[in-house]
Each structure stands twice: as structure tokens, then as C-alpha cells.
Structure 1
Amino acid sequence: MYPRSFKDSNGDGIGDIPGIISKLDYLKELGVDVIWLSPVYQSPNDDNGYDISDYRGIMDDFGTMADWEKLLAEVHGRGMKLIMDLVVNHSSDEHAWFLESRSSKENPYRDYYIWRPSRDGQEPNNWTSIFSGPAWEYDGQTGEYYLHLFSRKQPDLNWENPKVREEIYDMMTWWLDKGIDGFRMDVINMISKTEGLPSAGGDRYAWGGDYFMNGPRVHEFLREMNEKVLSRYDIMTVGETPGVTPDDAARYANADGTELNMVFQFEHMELDSGWGGKWDPCGWKLKDLKATIGRWQTGLHGRAWNSLYLNNHDQPRMVSRFGNDREYRVESAKMLATFLHTLEGTPYIYQGEELGMTNVPFKGIEDCRDVETLNMYRERVTEGGGNHDEVMNAIRIKGRDNARTPMQWSTEANAGFTTGTPWLHVNPNYTEINAEAALADTDSIFHYYRKLIALRKTHPVIVYGSYEIVSEEDERIYAYTRTLGNDRLFVMLNFTGETVSFASPYPLLAGGGGELLIANYPVGEGSETSGLDAELQLRPFEARVYLLKAV
């Protein structure tokens, strides 16, 4: 949940905690077990709450601590759980620690952050920030640079300092004692940097990820966090860990439970990025998606636990990215939901996904609010002289604001999100795509999600079964099985907008060969197969899931 965009209760155009409370019954009806709340802490909002100035305070835009405490009680009262976003790779430059840290080199808080002198009149190394530009900001008060892997208003905390770690563990304990059910940990695999902070090869400004992702002490720090905090509570933890392999993930989310419960990986989120990275969008291929998903499904089975997602607050809308958000929006949204919910791991549903919300036709850069997008546009167009149309096209495809437009509740003004002026423009298709219409339509994407979630809670094979690819070379159909004991699930997904013939290796339906658990089209007599290799005609973006009888 991205609270700024979920539901506004007071007409100021910004989603808030009372607004969330007003829609908890909607989430309960969907079948949600756990709510992951993006940051609601005090923040100057340079990065929409991911720049925290007070880890124990609630942002005024969102309400009060009393509002938050009511939210927790209401969530628990409905049998759901609440996990909070933990953002401790960096803080805001307006945090009291940083204000002290930058005041003088002798200040006790100086070593809470990563300060370095210049190198031959330039930055201490050549790392580029993830949000564009150099990863260092010069501070004239003390004549040194501080490291910021993200915005210049997000200085990196120095995890090498044991006092910093103790402050963080104390803060985490404070929230857990208030009753929360766990943490989603923002870029948690960046907290350990290589000693000496060496420059990356290449240009003056180069990618330094090899020196700050999965660093030398990261597992030591997480084991310490687990020992001192996490292991003392019955909670859920998930780490955001860009740049990890399945073997890496098996260390972070090991079966021994000494670090985290699971991690978010990004391999499948990079399939449509060209040589120039995120802002160089290119087409993706189904065979690459199969290879990536298969590597994680088989690589973590029995070793660690997968997180399953196709979009979130940092990624474009999945139906626009992996499906067809025009003539087959409903069908492809249901197909992708089937994919998400029939793999081993925990599915994460991002707000509006269950409605088939789409990317946004941003007219110009003035429509955007995301600091990453604005920095990139300034660097490439305003200062770099790049082509406006090309950059705006990339933003419409990959920009984070695509996911952050207000939740579409109804056909009322501003999609029922606010009675005021929304902080970010509402997607104009809200008159067609909204929760009110979805709830009233028994064949909607929303109700299809409800069925999928119910199936996961009914059939353990969907949650725990081992994965095996069926159609590895097929460029249009993604088919696989999940097996647990005598139960076998068979999933068929058409990832194209055309009708495709597919030879099923299993007898289905006719003759008692299997039970159709769910499909996004009506399945009639003409679609049944009785023998091996019988041809099925899978319609555009069709999805079918069968429970096969034990042989």
C-alpha cells in the first residue's frame, strides 16, 4: 500500500491513515492477510517518505500517532497483520542525527554518516547515484562530502558504527513493542560498503554497485539484527535486495532463520531494460521470463522462500508491462494474476492491481512528481540537451509515477480518492476502471483475485509444491506443474493476444483426468482433452489451472 495515493479522508489531496481505515473492509473482502505499509514516518518528502526525519513520528500529511494506533487495532480486529517499511540504509538530511553530523567534524554524530574529503578536487570516488548524478554531496560547513546512494537529501547511514546499529535496533524494538507484525526492509543489502569505498572502473561517474550491494559485512549486520531484535518476536521480514542471485537469497532468507524470512529480487524486473538500464526500455521475451522465474523457483525450493510480485510502488503497472492494457486488459490482468498466484512463494498485490489499473499517459514532465524521474529528465534533457519526446516515452513506460496515481475507487470526481486536488493526477480511465464497478461485477478482475487467493488457502500444492517447466521452448505459452506429494497442479498461460494451439501433455477433464480449478475464460466441452498431446486452443491471454489426478 502506498498511503499517499490510497484514500484521502480530509480533502487535502493526499491519502492518509483515516482513509486507509475506511477501506480495510475492502482489503478484507479481497482476501488480504498482511498489509505492507509504505513509509508514514515524519519526512520532508523529497522521496515521498523514503527520506525519514523522525523514525518514531507520523507524517502530518498522514495523520497522528493516535490515527496509526487505531489503524493497527482495526487491522488486527479484522484478522489481518501490518508490516512497516524499514528505511535504514539512509535517513533524511533533516534528521536530527544528520543535522548534528554536518555541524562539525568533532560532533559525536559525525560518524553516523559516511563523510570523506575530496579526491584531487573532486568527489571521493566516482560512484553515480541511483537517482542520477554523483553519489556525493559537498557540504561547505565542514568542507567534506557525504555519501548518498539515492537523493542528495538521503545521506547514507554508517553501519560500520555500532552506535548507529544500536539506535536502529532500539527503534525497531520500539515499533515491534507497539504491536506491528514485521518489516519490509528498503534496499537492505546496501547497508555494508566495501572498505575504502574504491572507485568503479570507467567514467568519472560510474555504477559502483559492486562496492555497495551485498557488501562484506551485510550478513553479519543482519544476523546481529536478527539476534538482538527479530528473533524475539513472531513476525514477518522481507528484504528488498537488488542485484542478488538465488544463492545470495538463500543466505539472506536461509532456512535456519538467522537473517530474514524472504527477499525481493529484481531479475524479472530488468528483462525490459536495454544496455542503458531502466531508462532504455526494450521489449522482453517470454523465454527470458521463463528462465528467470524458473531459476528462482528451483533455486530456492527447499532452501529459502520466494517473494512473488509483478509490480509495486517502484515499478510500472503489470498489465501495461506484461499484458495488454487495451483490448485484452481484463483477460491479461487475470492471466498475470494466475501466474503470480500459482508459483511457490508469497504473492504481493500492489494497490489497484486487483482492478487492472494501468500506466498513465503523462503529457509532460510537469505531470510527474517522482524525484528519480525529475532528476533523470533534468540530467538528460534540461542539462544534457536530450530529446524530450524520447525521454517522456521512457517515463510513460518505466516511470514510478505510473504506480503512484491515486487509487481508483469510483466514477466520482478524482476517482473518489479525494474531494480536493489530488497530489498526482488521477489516471483518466478511472470512469471505466474503479473498485465500485469491480465489486458489482462478479466476473471482474477483483473477484478473480478473490478466487485465486481462496484457492491458495485451500490447496497446499499451490503454496508449497515444487516447480517444473513444461513448455520451455514455447515462445507464446508458459506452462508448468507444481507437485506436492500426490497432488499435481498444471498451469497453462497464453502470454499473447492471439489464439494459440497447445499440445497438453496431460489428459484434462474428459475421462476424469483432472479438475479445472480456475480459468479466465469459460471452458466448455470443445476445450477438453482426453488423450496425451491433444491440441488445446488457448484464447488471447487465456489462463487455466488444473488439479491433476494422481497417477
Structure 2
Amino acid sequence: MKAFKRILLFTGIIVFLFLGILAYSNLRDASPPLPEVVGPSYGNEPDYQQRQWWESTAVYQVYPRSFQDSDGDGIGDIPGIISRLDYIKGLGFETIWFSPFFKSPHRDFGYDVSDYYRADPEYGDSVLIDSLIREIHRRDMKVVFDMVLNHTSDQHPWFVESRSSRDNPQSDWYVWRDGQDSEPPNNWINALTRSGWNYEPQREQWYYSAFLSFQPDLNWRNPDVKAAMFDMLRYWLDRGVDGFRLDIFNFIYEDEQFQDNPWTLRILPGRDFTKVKGQNRVHNVNHPDNFTLAQEMRSLLDEYGHPHRFMVGEVFGNHHTLKQFLGTGRDGLNLVFLFDISDFEWEARFFREQIRTFEAFYPYPYQPVYVFSNHDRPRSISRLGNDLQKARLLALLQYTLRGVPFTYQGEEIGMHTGNIPIAQAKDPLPAAIAEMLPGIMRNAIPVSLNRDNCRTPMQWDGTVHAGFT
């Protein structure tokens, strides 16, 4: 019987993939029309001296775990980062964005936070964080922290208490809902396209997680949660942080009526990730209340002046949606990542159309963000067939266009995507995908789905361990 069920599941997956390809080929969503103004907006910008610092900065992303190890334990740390600040400064970067180094069980390597106020002991402590901020500012650079606001780790004290009963002080701090008999409360799916609902026996209720089950979503409709998160942001701003990168910001609010998402013919995800597996995720992705939250957070950051603070959002959607996160250009998120161009095709026509679209949708005071790689995406030179000349041309394009360039550590030296087999993956995503497949298919999961391959240690020199440790 189990073998029959696996065969049936395998057949279903094949049918779904076939229908998805068919739907994607014949029923592709129309691209949003371009605004009337399609010319470049260089002439509309103020003089360089009159711009805010974030409008003309260049950002270098550090993934702390794999950047520089100072004590030989094989894990990057804050002292290691401090020892390399002159290197980053020498490259010409003015801003450093750090992926999370807060206390965490590391099931998703920092994107599952268990304490927003403390550094994880693997990386350092509060004294070292202060030293890091101070040393960056001493070099006339800016520091940006990565903030995971949508969810916490299931080991966070808030969730530990919340899951324990229905009548504790944190009982309503996460998204809880009664199910329908033994079924989840609604049809919402998570990032892996399976149900986003997880049953908790202690409460006899379901909690929602937009990503993995150990990353429960916070209930931002609870005023206490919102106040706690705003207080946390103020804490880091008061300690000197110049801005925040906001992880999956467009997932924070869900429909408060918990309506089922409508169906769509799209099976495979498009670039905006809102329509997938036959579901149009209008009720749990890009909810309008997220746009309002962007304005509220901008008001918070604008309380801090000289220098002004800023936010860049990791959000997904078409350009009409992305622009709503930016407001008028002065009252929403300062920047949003424009991931369309990171999925580049090496054709002049592709880049021409992307630049034309960006200039049409984001004239000044908006600023396009040009990013080709990060801790979730394969290295750009690997996608270019390891062609050094193409990589140089891509960098030239990135740093001469109007907008704000973001560069991931190692891109400047042409680091390649790794080739770590799925069986050896530490990244939780391949393991979660494997659980959904029959055993015969698990070995067929492409290595490219393993994000470990773009998080390999920084290569500093030709010595043992490439100078990383």
C-alpha cells in the first residue's frame, strides 16, 4: 500500500509539472504596462552633495558565518569581520549589510531568531557588536543589520510560551487558528508549496508559518507584538545602526479573515512568486497592510536624523506592487530589491528591457537597486559560464547605472558556486523538499537548490583553507 501511494504521489507530481509548464507557456501573466515616462531620470536628481547618503552608496553584503574565522573553529565571527573592514573600505564600498548574527538555533542559519537583542555566541557578544559598529563608523562607513520581522525561531521564548496554552501572556503573539476537524484552517501554502499550517498538540490548534515549520509567523495584528518589534528596532538604532535590510517584508501581514486563496492555472512560480501550484496567494502575500507598515516604519526611522537611517526590503511582486512598498519615494521603504534583473539572461535585449522598465517605474526620488547575487542565489560568474570578461562587464554595468548596487561577498574576486551534494546539505530547504518526494526521486533534486553552495567560505589567499580560518 505504501509503495502504491508513493507511485501515485510521483505520478501526481509529474502531471502537475506538465500542467504547470503548459499553463506557463500558454497562459503567462501579462507584464504590467510601463508608465508613460520611460526616459532616464538622471537630469532630475539633485546634486551629489544634496542627496541622502543611501541614495548614492554602494553596499557590500557580509554573510558572517563564512566571511572570516578568527579563532579556528571553522565559523566566521565578529572579530574576523572587524579584521577585514579595511579590505572592504579599500574596495570602495561605503555601506556593509550583515546577514543575521543574532542568537539562533541555526536551523536556517540566523533566519530563525531566538533573541533579537543578543549576538549568537558562535559570532561574539554585545561588546563585540558595539566594537563592530564603532569601527565601521570610524572608517566613515555605514552599518546595516538584517532584520527577520515576519517570524521567529520556534525556540524563541515568545513562541515557547505561546504554544504552551491558549491563555498565557504570549498566547496571541503568533498566528493561531482552529482547524476544520482534522484539516488546516484554510488552503494557504508556504514557500515549499505545501500547507503553511502546523498542528500544535499542546494548544490543540494550528499555527501558521510562511516558510518552514520551525519559523512560526508573528501576529503583527496584536498591538503588543508590533510594539515589541518597534522597540527592538529603536534599540539597534539607538546603538548606532544606520539601517535595516528587511527579510521577506511582504509576508508580514495576512488576511485577518483567513479567507482561502483563489485558484489559478499557474503551477510553476513566476518571478513574483505570488501565483504557484494552482493558487493565487492574494491573502497571505503582499497584503495591503504591509504597505501601511512600510510607512509606519519609515516614520520611525525618520525620527533619527543626521545621518538619516534607511531600509531596503526583500519583497516580491510586479513593479506596481513593489512601488507601493516605496510610497511616494519619501514615505515608504527607502529601497526594494529588484530581483528581475538578478535572473539575468546574457543578452543585450534583456538588460535593455530591464533598465528601461526600472527607469520607467522608479524615476527620482525612487532609486533602482541592482543586485545579481546574494546568500540565496548562485554566484553570478557561475551563471556566466565562468567567463571572466562577462563578469567584468556585468560589474561595470552594475556600478555605472543610476541606482544603488549591492554586492555579495566574494563576487569581487569571482568566487564560483560550490558543488555540495544534496545529501551533505546543511540548508534546510533541500531536506524539506526531499521529504515531499518518493525516495527514488530524492537523488534527482538539483544541486542548485542547495543554498550552501553560495555560502562557502570566503577565499582570502592561497594558503590552507584559503585564509578563511
- What's the TM-score bracket when you normalise by the shorter of the two chains? 0.7 to 0.9
Query: 1:414 maps to what in 2?
Result: 465
SS, match of residue 412 in structure 2: helix
Q: Whole-Å Cα distance in 2 between the matches of residues 101 and 205 of structure 1? A: 31
Q: Whole-Å Cα distance in 1 between the matches of residues 75 and 253 of structure 2? A: 35
CA shift digits 1:444-501 (9 cap, x unpaired) = xxxxxxxxxxxxxxxxxxxxxxxxxxxxxxxxxxxxxxxxxxxxxxxxxxxxxxxxxx
- Superposed displacement of residue 355, structure 1: 0.4
| Residues 186-265 of structure 1 mapped to structure 2, 5 A cutoff | 186-202=247-263, 207=279, 209-233=281-305, 234-243=308-317, 245-265=318-338
Measured at CA, do residues 218 and 377 of structure 1 come closer, stay the same or move farther in structure 2, by a change above 3 Å?
same
CA shift digits 1:321-377 (9 cap, x unpaired) = 2x221xx3x212111101211222100010000001111223x22332111122123
Q: Whole-Å Cα distance in 1 between the matches of residues 341 and 259 of structure 2? A: 29
Measured at CA, do residues 294 and 39 of structure 1 come closer, stay the same or move farther in structure 2, by a change above 3 Å?
same
- Quick one: which amino acid aligns to residue 436 of structure 2? E
| Residues 474-489 of structure 1 mapped to structure 2, 5 A cutoff | none
Q: Whole-Å Cα distance in 2 between the matches of residues 147 and 60 of structure 1? A: 29
Residue number among 434, 441, 452 corresponding to 1:386 in the alignment: 441
Does 2:431 align with 1:369?
Answer: no
Query: 2:106 maps to what in 1?
Result: 45
CA shift digits 1:284-320 (9 cap, x unpaired) = 7654454334212321012511111000111110111
More divergent stretch after superposition (400-409 vs 2-11)? 400-409
Cα contact 2:148–2:247 (8 A) shared by 1: yes
- Quick one: which amino acid aligns to residue 395 of structure 1? V
Q: Whole-Å Cα distance in 2 between the matches of residues 259 and 230 of structure 1? A: 11
SS, match of residue 10 in structure 1: coil
SS, match of residue 386 in structure 1: helix
- Quick one: which amino acid aligns to residue 185 of structure 2? P
Query: 1:315 maps to what in 2?
Result: 377
CA shift digits 1:235-257 (9 cap, x unpaired) = 121111112x3333333224452
Cα contact 2:329–2:365 (8 A) shared by 1: no
- Superposed displacement of residue 21, structure 1: 0.6
Q: Whole-Å Cα distance in 1 between the matches of residues 229 and 71 of structure 2? A: 33
SS, match of residue 174 in structure 1: helix
Q: Whole-Å Cα distance in 2 between the matches of residues 370 and 83 of structure 1? A: 24
SS, match of residue 324 in structure 2: helix
Name the structure with the higher strand share.
1
Cα contact 2:343–2:372 (8 A) shared by 1: no
| Residues 86-97 of structure 1 mapped to structure 2, 5 A cutoff | 86-97=147-158
Q: Whole-Å Cα distance in 2 between the matches of residues 138 and 63 of structure 1? A: 35
Q: Normalization by structure 2: what TM-score?
A: 0.80
Q: Whole-Å Cα distance in 2 between the matches of residues 299 and 17 of structure 1? A: 39
- Superposed displacement of residue 71, structure 1: 0.9
More divergent stretch after superposition (174-183 vs 245-254)? 245-254
Does 2:414 align with 1:356?
Answer: yes
- Quick one: which amino acid aligns to residue 345 of structure 1? G
Measured at CA, do residues 388 and 103 of structure 1 come closer, stay the same or move farther in structure 2, by a change above 3 Å?
same
Query: 1:67 maps to what in 2?
Result: 128
Does 2:393 align with 1:335?
Answer: yes
CA shift digits 1:31-58 (9 cap, x unpaired) = 1100000001111111100111100011
Does 2:395 align with 1:324?
Answer: no
- Superposed displacement of residue 97, structure 1: 1.2
Q: Whole-Å Cα distance in 2 between the matches of residues 338 and 92 of structure 1? A: 40
Does 2:90 align with 1:29?
Answer: yes
Measured at CA, do residues 289 and 137 of structure 1 come closer, stay the same or move farther in structure 2, by a change above 3 Å?
farther
* Ranges in structure 1 where 5+ consecutive residues have no aligned partner: 272-282, 419-551
Point out 4+ residue stretches in structure 1 off by more than 6 angstroms. Answer: none
Query: 1:546 maps to what in 2?
Result: none
Does 2:218 align with 1:166?
Answer: no
Measured at CA, do residues 246 and 190 of structure 1 come closer, stay the same or move farther in structure 2, by a change above 3 Å?
same
More divergent stretch after superposition (254-263 vs 84-93)? 254-263
- Superposed displacement of residue 5, structure 1: 0.6
- Quick one: which amino acid aligns to residue 412 of structure 1? T
- Superposed displacement of residue 143, structure 1: 0.6
SS, match of residue 348 in structure 1: strand
Does 2:302 align with 1:302?
Answer: no
The higher relative CO (CA closer than 8 Å, separation ≥ 6) is in 2
SS, match of residue 137 in structure 1: strand
- Quick one: which amino acid aligns to residue 159 of structure 2? F
Query: 2:53 maps to what in 1?
Result: none
More divergent stretch after superposition (373-382 vs 6-15)? 373-382
Cα contact 2:341–2:370 (8 A) shared by 1: no
SS, match of residue 112 in structure 1: coil
Residue number among 451, 455, 466 corresponding to 1:400 in the alignment: 451
Measured at CA, do residues 11 and 79 of structure 1 come closer, stay the same or move farther in structure 2, by a change above 3 Å?
same
Cα contact 2:342–2:371 (8 A) shared by 1: no
SS, match of residue 407 in structure 2: coil
Cα contact 1:249–1:304 (8 A) shared by 2: no
SS, match of residue 123 in structure 1: coil
SS, match of residue 336 in structure 2: strand
SS, match of residue 288 in structure 2: coil
More divergent stretch after superposition (167-176 vs 202-211)? 202-211
Q: Whole-Å Cα distance in 1 between the matches of residues 171 and 348 of structure 2? A: 50
More divergent stretch after superposition (105-114 vs 366-375)? 366-375
Q: Whole-Å Cα distance in 1 between the matches of residues 280 and 150 of structure 2? A: 16
Q: Whole-Å Cα distance in 2 between the matches of residues 121 and 42 of structure 1? A: 35
Cα contact 1:246–1:300 (8 A) shared by 2: no
| Residues 44-193 of structure 1 mapped to structure 2, 5 A cutoff | 44-131=105-192, 133-193=194-254
Using the aligned pairs only, state the percent identity: 38
Measured at CA, do residues 319 and 31 of structure 1 come closer, stay the same or move farther in structure 2, by a change above 3 Å?
same
- Superposed displacement of residue 179, structure 1: 0.6
| Residues 271-282 of structure 1 mapped to structure 2, 5 A cutoff | none
- Superposed displacement of residue 222, structure 1: 2.1
Measured at CA, do residues 256 and 350 of structure 1 come closer, stay the same or move farther in structure 2, by a change above 3 Å?
closer
Q: Whole-Å Cα distance in 1 between the matches of residues 277 and 297 of structure 2? A: 33
